[in-house]
Amino acid sequence: MAFSTLTSTTFLGSSRIDSASLPSDIRKLSVSSVQISFRSRIPKKLQINAAGSTFGTNFRVTTFGESHGGGVGCIIDGCPPRIPLSEADMQFDLDRRRPGQSRITTPRKETDTCKISSGVSEGLTIGTPIHVFVPNTDERGLDYREMSVAYRPSHADATYDMKYGVRSVQGGGRSSARETIGRVAAGGVAKKILKLYAGTEIFAYVSQVHKVVLPEGLVDHDSLTLDQIESNIARCPDPEYAEKMIATIDAVRGKGDSVGGVVTCIVRNAPRGLGSPVFDKLEAELAKAAMSLPASKGFEIGSGFAGTFLSGSEHNDEFYTDEHGRIRTRTNRSGGIQGGISNGETISMRVAFKPTPAIAMSQHTVTRDKKETELIFRGRFDHCIAPRAVPVVEAMVALVLMDQLMAQYSQCYLFPINSELQEPLIMPRLEAANASV
């Protein structure tokens, strides 16, 4: 076993395809492939790989860009027109997500300043795609030299190779947390529209860091404010627990290790009726959104796994009619969703994030050509991703709700509603339009 070096491997190595096992016509193809790969045996300039994808049907977001390269961003297609919008609506959450914001986040220095280059005219959305770009400014390609040949444990290095048979190596490419910038920018637009439309508020916060667990009920979801969340660098609304969390992260930082955590997210004033029966239940869409985030390992809605320890008579949410003649539930173990459809109660969910796999400690691993080696990660990283994941979770929840709101609107509001059973989605909250989101 030896420490890996750059010279010990070719980049693609596809010259060693065992072509004898292939039928003759495919063999011919392989030979040609070989020639191709020879052409670029020695990496001159490591271009970056980028994986972009699209989320949503009506409110469609495609993100692009990667950790290293010109920059990152998104295209938002299907945005309602005539909404006042500027970079400031996105920048607020981008600043909450940005690296280097505090001593407990990765020291990479990025201002993450966004620029809208289409889809907005005269300060209003015009219905056509909104293109948002955030340049990368603090890249350090050299940090990744060693990783180009040794697979970092619990990263995407090995699986990208297994999937594509080829990979670029700098900074994790599309699997980098930097990809989430596009999500946060788009989420900012969705949040603004949801607030304008129905006064919907989406708040996430850190409810666990390693073994520091915020006791259930300590945070009052009816009165929780953004200021409480942002009052400390751990993004835990309880100051006492925030201190403990920060101390925990500081401790592992000293050791070059990392810890996991949990982010709780709530939605107040979510319109009723969002979500579609069967496969596109609201909790299913939220689960997909949350589990598409890097490092997420679990998702719960309402009572979640804890609810399995209850009996039906303990778990059911009884209905009553409140003083405004509105049908409500006395408890909310359903987490604001029943039968896959929002019921107007506060939506609540929890997302588990594993300990950041990037650690500054020696680990056993293998290289691309299957040689065993040891590796110490030398990039910059977060010792607990949860505090910075907070705005990203909020963004994904906003994208789901916005998409479902548009779906609900097009199907169920074309004709006058049945006001006995439904409520108007448009609520008199437009004063919020000029408020910061």
Q: For residues 246, 250, 252 and 255, what is the CA-based torsion angle, rounded to 10 degrees?
A: 180
The CB-of-235 to a copy of itself minimum distance in angstroms stands at 16
Which residues lie below 8 Å from residue 272, measured CB to CB, with a gap of 6+? 341, 342, 343, 344, 422, 423
Whose Cβ is closer to a copy of itself: residue 122's or residue 227's? 122
Q: Are 393 and 263 in contact (CB under 8 A)?
A: yes
Distance CA 62, CA 326 (A): 38
Distance CA 393, CA 18 (A): 45
Does 361 help bind a copy of itself (rule: CB under 8 A)? yes
Q: Identify residues 312-331 at the interface with a copy of itself (CB under 8 A).
A: 312-321, 325, 327, 329-330
- Of 253, 291, 378, 380, the one binding a copy of itself (CB under 8 A) is 291
Q: Which stretch binds a copy of itself (CB under 8 A): 98-106, 216-224, 225-233, 353-361?
A: 353-361
Give Cα 352 distance to the centre of its chain: 12
- Six-digit token pair at 34? 């070989």
Whose Cβ is closer to a copy of itself: residue 225's or residue 326's? 326
Q: Are 394 and 204 in contact (CB under 8 A)?
A: yes
Question: Helix, strand, or coil here: 201?
Answer: strand
Q: Which stretch binds a copy of itself (CB under 8 A): 99-107, 219-227, 230-238, 428-436?
A: 428-436
- Six-digit token pair at 98? 């940005």
Which residues lie below 8 Å from residue 211, measured CB to CB, with a gap of 6+? 248
Give Cα 19 distance to the centre of its chain: 42
- Of 18, 220, 222, 227, the one binding a copy of itself (CB under 8 A) is 18
Whose Cβ is closer to a copy of itself: residue 223's or residue 418's? 418
- What value, to the nearest 5°, has the Cα angle with vertex 284 and ends 279 and 287? 155
- Of 4, 63, 106, 264, the one binding a copy of itself (CB under 8 A) is 63
Does 368 help bind a copy of itself (rule: CB under 8 A)? yes
Whose Cβ is closer to a copy of itself: residue 100's or residue 344's? 344
- What angle, rounded to 10 degrees, do the helices at 88-97 and 180-198 form? 130
Does 288 help bind a copy of itself (rule: CB under 8 A)? yes
Strand locations in 25-155 (E): 54-55, 60-65, 71-77, 115-118, 120-121, 124-125, 130-135
Between strands 347-353 and 296-301, the pairing is antiparallel
The CB-of-91 to a copy of itself minimum distance in angstroms stands at 18
Between strands 327-329 and 319-321, the pairing is antiparallel
Distance CA 239, CA 115 (A): 35
- Of 376, 433, 435, 436, the one binding a copy of itself (CB under 8 A) is 433
Q: Which stretch binds a copy of itself (CB under 8 A): 20-28, 87-95, 136-144, 229-237?
A: 20-28
The CB-of-51 to a copy of itself minimum distance in angstroms stands at 3
- Of 101, 135, 221, 413, the one binding a copy of itself (CB under 8 A) is 413
Whose Cβ is closer to a copy of itself: residue 225's or residue 433's? 433
Tell me the number of residues near a copy of itself by CB under 8 A.
205
Q: Which stretch binds a copy of itself (CB under 8 A): 94-102, 228-236, 387-395, 418-426?
A: 418-426
Q: Identify residues 255-284 at the interface with a copy of itself (CB under 8 A).
A: 257-262, 272-281, 283-284
Q: Identify residues 154-173 at the interface with a copy of itself (CB under 8 A).
A: 154-168, 173
Q: Identify residues 389-408 at the interface with a copy of itself (CB under 8 A).
A: 405-408
Whose Cβ is closer to a copy of itself: residue 32's or residue 223's? 32
- Of 216, 220, 227, 305, the one binding a copy of itself (CB under 8 A) is 305
Which phi and psi angles does 261 have, rounded to 5°? -170, 175
Q: Are 191 and 437 in contact (CB under 8 A)?
A: yes
Neighbours of 400 (CB within 10 A): 27
- Of 266, 290, 393, 401, the one binding a copy of itself (CB under 8 A) is 290
Does 355 help bind a copy of itself (rule: CB under 8 A)? yes
Whose Cβ is closer to a copy of itself: residue 223's or residue 309's? 309
Q: Which stretch binds a copy of itself (CB under 8 A): 88-96, 134-142, 235-243, 310-318?
A: 310-318
Does 67 help bind a copy of itself (rule: CB under 8 A)? no
End-to-end CA distance of the chain: 54
